[in-house]
Structure 1
């Protein structure tokens, strides 16, 4: 479906940044996400604190970094195994019902973790199992939720809606950890988990009130695996989508991986302590939020191809500058440019592939975007870590970021030269 049936006859007054909110269904969806995502980031902060406490009790503080990394890794593993299957299921079924099921599952898991923590029965292996289960839920939720947005707003306001979703996510990334730090002193870690579980009620309430006509893909006698093969074949044969996903892979491996080296840059290059590192990290969130809001304002006024290329080049250049900076204020400024540019670039890719792909294939195509975005992150961490280790030997701990920025820049230039029509995509 290409149009949203719930649009108001006349959009509310205000700046174009929030025009996707004129769709009643999207307002329900977006407002619920706004509450739930704050809870999710609160939980992420409290969970790290809980793991640190459990590991210190069992193995000593020297093992804390190892187990934090292990839990993060096992939480991302389901992305490799289930995301593409989730995209096929989204095309075969009712996206709204799938999202309701995944959100309800995430709520129950958060409440269970909260009860285990509150009663004192919590053990480290519980947190590991929880990370795997939540990762599995997210693997089915993310591609379905991304593909569902077009059914809420139609194609015209899709990029604006994606940008508004990104702005909520990044605002929650700033607010959630700060609120969690304050609330943990009042209600404890268990209280944070229970509050996060309760926050899912806002999403579920909104989803249950949404009414959109369902268009199921014609399945005939094809199996799930044939359905998957059809999605792969379409993606491979569509040159535009193929190039967009290649760019997405480059940004994920060589762009977003700067997060891995943030502690190293803060300590070895900028000589910051804990407070300074926290402030530097906050600048990344502020830049991402600013980029999302800028994208929401620019959507419809500037071609998506131009936004993609311009923001990708901006992020690549700022990444190289950040790798060479030795001044905190400049590093913070460059960091905002990196995060803002990457948010605009990846959201533009998401919007373009959703608009290009036919409705009957949208879930599968979006699942490939999700698979790259989530599944290639460990590859980026491996790249950054190995090259940074070599860089430290020659006094350049940020060498991997310099090379990563250069690779991103060269990839954009190469694709623009081989496919000059890409940057003119509307």
Structure 2
């Protein structure tokens, strides 16, 4: 399950990520709570904040992949970590001085998004340089486990700190946490990295990456799944906060608990993926999305806060099964010189759609209630899985390779009835 950790460079990277991701999740909770305090519980303001944080990915996300292919990924990551630490420090100082206004949060959220434009595809593509292709699925799953382990701990710590001393110190803790990543990157042995040859600067590299993905039907199907689920089904950062505050009338500590329960499921799903660690198939992605959609609908309909918390666990498992498999599928299916640009497009679809989805989700939550917003996201995820399954069915060209733009082979995707059989059997998850 943990074979990637035999690699010294990856151990250093993972250790830094544990610390930094914990701080990042603490800041996410504190940022949401600060916005709700400054705007007296406005779901629209919360959606705008989330949207602004991801807007740069929508505007410039593809260029981040070009940067990842052109330059040393290790050095690029050092620059992005320093940038994000400085932004967290500024927000912490504003909050602690009592001068923070909602437009400050909007501006700094946008600045954080600019840093992640480059950081996300670079960090994703850097994993294979540390562990190689053989251990890549395992490393991606462990990255998800690390991220969600921090997601389990971070919100709980943030809730306690906010209740005890306010939001400001939480931002300062996150600023300090980026030092762990910088130390890990600095201590790596460069000779042990499987460094891909940097792509020389040339015109048309962005268009080249888009043409490459457009000519790969298998990649396009994965991106379609990721796009719809991320836009409509993965806005828990908004909906959980509003359910905790507006539906069940709980405080910051209870909101942190809800985020942690979702993280328990996500962590479990990531560990299961690490144990499997084989090359995923499209039918696994479709099954995971279908299960996630059904569970999300059930979560939105739970009558009490306790049952709502319980349902977040299996929902998180299904979601993490899908996202881990999607990431591994994209990275293992492309050439090294294209990986940065492909992952830039993947992160654009995965995270850059938030500026479109988050304000709309915030508006829906304010107009129809947080419960119906969660249910709507689950319905969209379920319908997307069924539509993609139908599109992926062979149409007389099953013998053609996906790399040639042909249909996905019959052994990869079958009708939704087979997916239902696999779900009831509990296999492959």
Structure 1 and Structure 2 fold alike (TM over 0.5): yes
Structure 1 CA distance, aligned partners of 2:306 and 2:11?
A: 38
Deviations along 1:59-80, one digit per CA (max 9) or x if unpaired, are xx36x54433332222221111
Structure 2 CA distance, aligned partners of 1:403 and 1:382?
A: 19
Structure 2 CA distance, aligned partners of 1:108 and 1:280?
A: 29
Q: Is the 8 A contact 2:88 2:172 kept in 1?
A: yes
Q: Which residue of 2 aligns with 1:319?
A: 296
Q: Which residue of 2 aligns with 1:377?
A: 354
Q: Which residue of 2 aligns with 1:133?
A: 111
2:160 to 182, 187, 196: 182
Is 1:152–2:140 an aligned residue pair? Answer: no
Structure 1 CA distance, aligned partners of 2:340 and 2:362?
A: 33
Structure 2 CA distance, aligned partners of 1:414 and 1:216?
A: 39
Structure 2 CA distance, aligned partners of 1:149 and 1:316?
A: 30
Q: Which residue of 2 aligns with 1:360?
A: 337
Cα separation, partners in 2 of 1:421 and 1:415, compared to 1, 3 Å: farther
Q: Is the 8 A contact 1:254 1:407 kept in 2?
A: no
User: Within 5 Å, which residues of 2 pair with 1:392-407?
Assistant: 400-401=376-377, 403-407=379-383
TM-superposed CA distance for 1:159, in Å, is 1.4
Structure 1 CA distance, aligned partners of 2:51 and 2:219?
A: 28
User: Within 5 Å, which residues of 2 pair with 1:236-315?
Assistant: 236-257=214-235, 260-262=238-240, 272-274=248-250, 279-300=257-278, 303-315=280-292
Structure 2 CA distance, aligned partners of 1:192 and 1:323?
A: 29
Where 1:274 maps in the other structure, the secondary structure is coil
Q: Which residue of 2 aligns with 1:106?
A: 84
- The Cα RMSD (Å) is 3.1
Deviations along 1:2-58, one digit per CA (max 9) or x if unpaired, are xxxxxxxxxxxxxx2x121111111110100100111112222333344445x36xx
TM-superposed CA distance for 1:105, in Å, is 1.0
1:230 to 202, 208, 221: 208
Cα separation, partners in 2 of 1:390 and 1:107, compared to 1, 3 Å: closer
TM-superposed CA distance for 1:179, in Å, is 1.3
TM-superposed CA distance for 1:110, in Å, is 2.0
Structure 2 CA distance, aligned partners of 1:391 and 1:116?
A: 34
Cα separation, partners in 2 of 1:32 and 1:391, compared to 1, 3 Å: closer
Q: Which residue of 2 aligns with 1:24?
A: 8
User: Within 5 Å, which residues of 2 pair with 1:45-56?
Assistant: 45-53=29-37, 55=38
Structure 2 CA distance, aligned partners of 1:267 and 1:205?
A: 38
User: Within 5 Å, which residues of 2 pair with 1:311-350?
Assistant: 311-323=288-300, 325-326=302-303, 331-350=308-327
Q: Is the 8 A contact 2:136 2:328 kept in 1?
A: yes
In the alignment, structure 2 segments of 5+ residues that lack a partner are 395-407, 415-429
Q: What TM-score, normalized to structure 1?
A: 0.81
Q: Is the 8 A contact 1:258 1:384 kept in 2?
A: no
Q: Which moved more, 1:207-216 or 1:152-161?
A: 207-216
TM-superposed CA distance for 1:139, in Å, is 1.4
Cα separation, partners in 2 of 1:217 and 1:175, compared to 1, 3 Å: same
Cα separation, partners in 2 of 1:113 and 1:366, compared to 1, 3 Å: same
In the alignment, structure 1 segments of 5+ residues that lack a partner are 1-15
TM-superposed CA distance for 1:88, in Å, is 0.6
Structure 1 CA distance, aligned partners of 2:239 and 2:27?
A: 23
Deviations along 1:363-385, one digit per CA (max 9) or x if unpaired, are 00001110011122344446656
Deviations along 1:267-311, one digit per CA (max 9) or x if unpaired, are 89xx634167665444322111111111111113x7444532332
Cα separation, partners in 2 of 1:370 and 1:50, compared to 1, 3 Å: same
Structure 2 CA distance, aligned partners of 1:386 and 1:120?
A: 28
1:165 to 143, 148, 152: 143
Deviations along 1:109-156, one digit per CA (max 9) or x if unpaired, are 222333444455544443332212111011111111111111111111
Structure 2 CA distance, aligned partners of 1:251 and 1:323?
A: 16
Q: What TM-score, normalized to structure 2?
A: 0.81
Q: Is the 8 A contact 2:66 2:340 kept in 1?
A: yes
Where 2:77 maps in the other structure, the secondary structure is helix
Cα separation, partners in 2 of 1:33 and 1:279, compared to 1, 3 Å: closer
